[in-house]
Amino acid sequence: MSPSHKSMSPASYAQRSLWAFALRYRTAHLNEMTIAWRARGPLRIDALESALGQVVARHPTLRSRLSYERGQLFQVEMPPEPVPLRVIDVDAASPEAGVEVAVEMFCEPRRQALDIIAGPTFLAHLYRVAADDHVLGIQVHHAMCDGWSMGIVVREWILLYRELLGGPPADLPQLTEQYAHIASWEQRALEAGELDHDIQYWRAELEDLPPPIALPAAGTRKGNRDWRARAVHTHQQAPFMQGLRDLAGRLRVSPFALQLAALAVLLRQRTGREDMLVGVPTLNRWSAQAMQIVGYMTSMLPVRLRPAGSLGFDGLCSQAHSSIRKMLAYGRVPLEVLLRETALTPSGNTVFPIWVQFVEDSAATDSEVAGLRLSPLTTKRRNLLAELDVDMVGSATDWHCEWAYRPSLFEEDFMQSMVSDYVATLRHVMAHPQSTVQELEARLS
């Protein structure tokens, strides 16, 4: 596409921060979204390529780049192009082993890095384990996509693939807006003062901030550019998750607020801090149309917690619940604006050393399309900007929690002890929700 025919629109505030980071670490595998599926059965590669190509054509962000011109950062929309799938044969002793090898190859740190400046920002990989057994991996730069968007991409390519093989027409929602419209609204709203009330709330909420929370680290923080990640996990059966829901109901708080309060107890015990900020990702989609758009809309916003020793756990849950509700109510203000308008400042590579999120019933399930059985695969997190990312998933059948951390800062034994103490705290408060923070802390000593 020649310069005179570029389709350009202003970049969002979130994209600006990722662009600045990409300039410094252009070839690093950071800020990438990945998802992998196992496809068993007859696979029509030509139809799969066509379906993926239609999804990319339908959502301009998947074929856009970022360009700094005339003193402003723009999204540059490239013309739709085919999505070629190079088939990579996997040699393994068994199909299950082959799938593991394929996932390792897809997550290989030395694979091609995405590039939001020169492209590509979207890649698809296909690994052949057997004639009727494949692994499909999709890789998108976070500046162009978020977790919700990945769900849209997967849902749409499945519907389009089914249609191409003679199934019913893909019933896709009509897109009257695109991500570029959201980014433009964000800029206009800020300039017109539409977010002033929200900004005033954040200025008050973020007054007299404590320093960023710092868990005892085995490595040096200053100048640390080793983003390699590892994770420890805990898995509990359905009664545990039901116990959390029951207690949350009795306390009239969300399950997330309850789990966040327990984490605050643990963080206080490890650091001695009674005032702390953690980063919580929010969906940040404010209309039915926005729910259909592929783009980087997720916003990481602060939740402030004050686990005073004399405070009962039930009171700490109420505090966390109130903070989360206010964060969501005033969540239209981009984090990048908060950095400019409040006392919030980055610490090292990220604003919040600790990220936390909880999702209910999020597990993707097997599906079948034109004789092809699709099963979601788990991919290992290779890199992490935060020092610690606590992801909790609750369903009707179990509760799963992953603590992703940077081994250049923390040892595995320390993280395992954190997870064990976290589960122990949650189990205790299910029976004794009025225990004070100090009493809970003493149980962990």
* Domain definitions of the chain by residue range: 3-179, 198-363+380-443
Strand order through the sheet with 230-237? 230-237, 398-405, 388-394, 354-360, 276-282, 299-305
- Tell me, letter by letter, the H, E, C secondary structure of 316-362: HHHHHHHHHHHHHHCCCCCHHHHHHHCCCCCECCECCCEEEEEEECC
Contact (Cβ atoms closer than 8 angstroms) between residue 77 and residue 412? no
When the candidates are 3.30.559.10, 3.40.50.300, 3.30.70.2740, 3.60.110.10, the CATH number that belongs to 3-179 is 3.30.559.10
Q: How do residues 262-287 score in pLDDT, each as one tens digit? A: 999 999 999 999 999 999 999 999 99
pLDDT above 70 for 256: yes
Residues 333 and 195 sit within 8 Å (Cβ to Cβ): yes
Q: Which CATH superfamily, name and number, covers 198-363+380-443?
A: Nonribosomal peptide synthetase, condensation domain (3.30.559.30)
Which pLDDT belongs to residue 2?
43
**What angle do helix axes 255-271 and 238-251 make, rounded to 10 degrees?**
100
* DSSP letter, residue 177: -
Strand pairing category for 32-40 and 372-377: antiparallel
Domains 3-179 and 198-363+380-443 share a fold: yes
- Is the distance from CB of 324 to CB of 277 less than 8 angstroms? no
Lowest mean pLDDT among 11-20, 243-252, 353-362: 353-362
pLDDT band of 23, cuts 50, 70, 90: confident
State mean pLDDT over 148-169: 96
The pair of three-digit structure tokens given for residue 7, joined into one six-digit string:
């389709």
Pairing of strands 354-360, 299-305: unpaired
Q: What is the CA radius of gyration of the chain?
A: 23
- Model pLDDT for residues 83-107, shown as the tens digit of each residue: 999 899 999 999 999 999 999 999 8
Residues 412-427, mean pLDDT to the nearest whole number:
98
pLDDT category of residue 13 using cuts at 50, 70 and 90: very high
Q: What pLDDT is attached to residue 316?
A: 98
CA 339/CA 207 separation, integer angstroms: 13
Percent of all residues in the chain with a pLDDT value above 90, rounded to a whole number: 85
pLDDT digits (tens, 9 = 90+) for 101-146: 999 999 886 777 789 999 999 999 999 999 999 999 999 999 999 9
Tell me how far apart the alpha carbons of residues 63 and 19 are, in angstroms, rounded to a whole number. 16
Considering Cα of 334, then 339, then 344, then 347, what sign does the dihedral take? positive
Measuring CA to CA, how many Å separate 332 from each of 9, 10, 186, 342? 20, 18, 8, 15
pLDDT at 362: 54
**Mean pLDDT (whole number) for 233-248:** 97
Query: Does 1 have pLDDT greater than 50?
Result: no
* DSSP state for residue 312 in the 8-state scheme: B
Query: Could you please report the per-residue DSSP string of 4-48?
Result: GG-EEEEPPHHHHHHHHHHHHSTTS--SEEEEEEEEES---HHHH
pLDDT in the model for residue 30: 81
Alpha carbons 299 and 291: distance in angstroms, whole number: 14
Look-up of token digits 């390519």: 157
